[in-house]
Chain A
Amino acid sequence: MPNTLSAPFIERRLRWAGLLIAIGLVVQLTTFIWIHPLSFIAFAMIACPLIAAGILLFLYSLVTHQPS
Chain B
Amino acid sequence: MVNPMLGQVLFIAIAVVLAILLATRAELTRVRGGKILAFITLFVLPVVAVGLGYSEHMERATSTQFCLSCHVMHDFGQSLYVDDPSYIPARHFQNNLVPRDHACYTCHTDYTMFGTVHAKFRGLRHIYVQYFGKVPEPANIKLYTAFNNRECLHCHAGMRVYQEEPKHSKTPDMMARINSNQLSCMSAHCHDTVHDVATLKDVNFWKGGQ
Q: Quick check: B20 and A11 within 8 Å, CB to CB?
A: no
Chain A residues contacting B27 (CB-CB under 8 Å) are 11
- In whole angstroms, how far apart are the Cα atoms of A52 and B47 in the complex? 8
Q: Quick check: B57 and A26 within 8 Å, CB to CB?
A: no
Interface size in chain B (residues, C-beta < 8 A): 42
Inter-chain contact total with CB atoms closer than 8 Å:
112
Is chain B's binding surface mostly helix, strand, loop or mixed?
A: helix
Given A25-B49, A31-B57, do A37 and B66 touch, yes or no (CB 8 Å)?
A: yes
B46 at the interface (CB under 8 A from A): yes
Q: Quick check: B49 and A28 within 8 Å, CB to CB?
A: yes
Q: Quick check: B16 and A58 within 8 Å, CB to CB?
A: no
- Of the candidates B19, B22, B70, the one whose C-beta lies within 8 Å of that of A25 is B19
Chain B residues contacting A24 (CB-CB under 8 Å) are 46
- Of the candidates A14, A29, A41, A59, the one whose C-beta lies within 8 Å of that of B16 is A29
| 10 nearest A-B residue pairs (beta carbon) | A18-B23, A11-B26, A22-B19, A18-B22, A58-B42, A19-B23, A14-B26, A21-B19, A2-B30, A18-B19
Q: What residues make up the interface of A, taking CB atoms closer than 8 Å to B?
A: 2, 7, 10-12, 14-19, 21-22, 24-26, 28-29, 31-32, 35-41, 43-44, 47-48, 51-52, 54-55, 58-59
